[in-house]
């Protein structure tokens, strides 16, 4: 089963993709993890990507596609995979289709969450300066200032402030809509209500893939 997760930042894609990966027994493939692996291991693709990044340029789609294909051609992906964070653009989706050929993406799971709820979630995040663990403000005791895990100082990242969150969502929205339309045209898109409780969203996702 070859799946793609789609949704705006804060929709819970990563969390749900990990759970679904375990239940289906197929790898969760994160574009961020792939980049970190190639950069840390200084692979040919990693050095190529770093060259663009060091110049402040975007890594070309063909380089990212090669990383994706390299990953999903590995032995553990023979029975399928779950892609999160890729494709991000229509051009990447078309390139992915060409690269996969006769083994295309089967379903695209679009977790839909309203802008107001996404702002509430993202602007309500704080992190520990010491261990990096993220928390939701409403899940911690009132006025909490230290990390329950290690005792480090809690702070809000600059990119999690409400005005910054709204700008990020505005930039992402056209791309997500374009991808949703592209996969809907292929009759592969399944929309999931991401504002329901986490376990109910997970149950909806299992039903969507016939598990």
Is-contact 3 109, C-beta < 8 A?
yes
**Pick the catalytic residue: 13, 71, 107, 121?**
13
- For 179, other C-beta atoms within 10 Å of its C-beta total 22
Active site residue 88: yes
Strand (E) or helix (H) holding 138: none
**Pick the catalytic residue: 66, 166, 168, 188?**
168
Active site residue 75: no
E-assigned strands of the chain?
2-6, 28-30, 81-84, 107-112, 125-128, 134-136, 154-155, 189-193
**Pick the catalytic residue: 157, 161, 167, 196?**
157
Active site residue 125: yes
**Pick the catalytic residue: 66, 125, 166, 188?**
125
DSSP state of 74: S
DSSP state of 118: H
Helix 90-100, helix 61-72: angle, nearest 10 = 40
Active site residue 166: no
**Pick the catalytic residue: 50, 88, 166, 188?**
88
- Residues classed as catalytic: 13, 88, 125, 157, 168
């Amino acid at each position: 089963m070859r799946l793609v997760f789609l949704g705006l930042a804060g929709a819970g894609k990563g969390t749900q993709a990990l759970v679904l990966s375990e239940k289906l027994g197929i790898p969760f493939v994160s574009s961020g993890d792939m980049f970190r692996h190639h950069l840390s291991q200084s692979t040919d693709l990693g050095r190529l990507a770093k060259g663009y990044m060091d110049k402040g340029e975007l890594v070309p789609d063909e380089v990212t596609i090669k990383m994706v294909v390299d990953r999903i051609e590995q032995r553990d992906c023979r029975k399928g995979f779950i892609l999160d964070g890729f494709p991000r653009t229509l051009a990447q989706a078309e390139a992915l289709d060409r690269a996969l050929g006769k083994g295309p993406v089967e379903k695209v799971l679009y977790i839909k969450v309203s802008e107001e709820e996404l702002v509430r979630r993202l602007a309500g995040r704080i992190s520990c300066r010491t261990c990096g663990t993220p928390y939701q403000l409403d899940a911690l005791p009132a006025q909490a200032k230290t990390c329950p895990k290690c005792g480090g100082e809690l702070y809000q990242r600059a990119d999690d402030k409400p005005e910054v969150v709204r700008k990020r969502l505005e930039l992402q929205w056209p791309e997500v809509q374009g991808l949703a339309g592209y996969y809907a045209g292929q009759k592969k898109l399944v929309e999931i209500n991401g504002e329901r409780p986490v376990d109910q969203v997970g149950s909806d996702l299992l039903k969507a893939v016939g598990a």
